[in-house]
Amino acid sequence: MPIEPTKSIWMNGELIPWEEAQIHVLTHTLHYGTGIFEGIRAYETSEGPAIFRLAEHMDRLINSAKILDIPMPYTSEELQEAAKEVVRDSGLASCYVRPIAYYGYGEMGLATTDCEVDVAIACWPWGAYLGEDAATKGVRMKISSWVRHDHNIMPPASKTTGNYANSTLAKMEALRAGYDEAIMLNKEGLVAECSGENLFVCRNGKIMTPPLVSGALEGITQHTVMSFVKDLGHEVTFEALARSDLYTADEIFVVGTAAEVSAVNSVDDRPVPCPGPITQQVASLYADTVRGKNPNYSHWCEVV
């Protein structure tokens, strides 16, 4: 998906022109994959552009830093203000927001003791991640031959740049085989998540999603959707899931900031009813809520 440039990028405390936001080829994190990042969306609301669950995203960035032992030069609150500044400055009504913290230029070698930490926040327009009809027609999923990270190899709880080499391997394998997205199992063979989304399975009247211990990111959209499901009067639980739970599901949907709520129409060529009733209700609640049209959750929309 080609990037559409916007006016400016926030780098280490100030807004600079988009094309000046450059880094050196010997930037430490480029070599070792030790950066941490976030993916956030801003939507058009009646009050103007608003960033969805901004505080939760910046708090997770701070947690990623704790896990990777990266000394963050800014607080979550400072980064929230900076993100609002970037979106405001872009003049866009809606956009994707990408904060990243990384070890900069100046040191080489694996020890990060003397490395400086740089932080940047960019925003640009980003359309539907899994295709325009992902919420209605659904996407084709393939269980990946690549295994999700283990907690003692690359902690899946942190959005570490290096973790995404694993996601890219899975995504490309799925695309080359003619599927839309990959589902990843952990080293015990249980369902973890997708290359860039969490997953929900409805089966025998139960709505379930794999927990962090299964190797899933603690998704903010996952949390949002769990609230919706409870509001609709259903129970929703974190569960360890086997691949057979996917093949016999009544409904499956995947969720993430970029992918929003996308329906699944098949797993490994076994059809899944799509879009199911829960998927449709959740997708419509999500579409309204992020645009400030759900009074129960207007506090999740941070006007810039």
Q: Which residues bind ligand PPE (CB under 6 A)?
A: 39, 167, 193, 196-198, 217, 219-222, 256-259
Is 275:57 a contact under the CB 8 Å cutoff?
no
- Between strands 40-45 and 198-203, the pairing is unpaired
Which CB sits closer to ligand PPE, 28 or 159? 159
Shortest approach of ligand PPE to residue 257 CB, angstroms?
Answer: 3
C-alpha to C-alpha distances, 132 to 138, 251, 263, 286, nearest whole angstrom: 10, 20, 12, 16
**CA Rg, the chain, in Å?**
19
Q: What CA–CA distance (Å, rounded) separates 264 from 132?
A: 14
Which token pair is 29?
């994190």
> Which is nearer to ligand PPE, 35 or 39 (by Cβ)?
39
Give whichever of 157 and 267 is closer to ligand PPE, judged by the CB atom.
157
The CB-of-292 to ligand PPE minimum distance in angstroms stands at 18
Residue 195 Cα distances to 48, 91, 142, 220, 273, angstroms: 32, 31, 11, 16, 22
CA distance 228 to 286: 8
**Which residue's CB comes closest to ligand PPE?**
39
Rank residues 117 and 225 by Cβ distance to ligand PPE and give the closer one: 225
Q: How far is the CB of 145 from ligand PPE (least distance, A)?
A: 17
For ligand PPE, the closer CB: 216 or 304: 216
CB of 54 to ligand PPE, least distance (A): 12
In the complex, the smallest distance separating the C-beta of residue 225 from ligand PPE, rounded to whole angstroms, is: 9
Parallel, antiparallel or unpaired: strands 236-238 and 206-209: parallel
Catalytic-labelled residue, pool 7, 84, 142, 159 = 159
- Distance separating alpha carbons of residues 78 and 101, to the nearest angstrom: 14
Active site residue 137: no
Residues in a beta bridge with 9: 16
Q: Which is nearer to ligand PPE, 168 or 248 (CB)?
A: 168
Residues 84 and 139: their CA atoms lie apart, in Å, by 33
Strands (DSSP E) found in 104-195: 117-124, 139-147, 181-185, 191-194
Alpha carbon distance 62, 74 (integer Å): 9
Cβ closest to ligand PPE, residue 104 vs residue 219: 219
Contacts 24+ apart (CB under 8 A), 221-224: 221/197, 221/255, 221/256, 221/257, 221/260, 221/261, 221/286, 222/198, 222/255, 223/56, 224/53, 224/255, 224/286, 224/289, 224/297, 224/300
List active site positions. 159
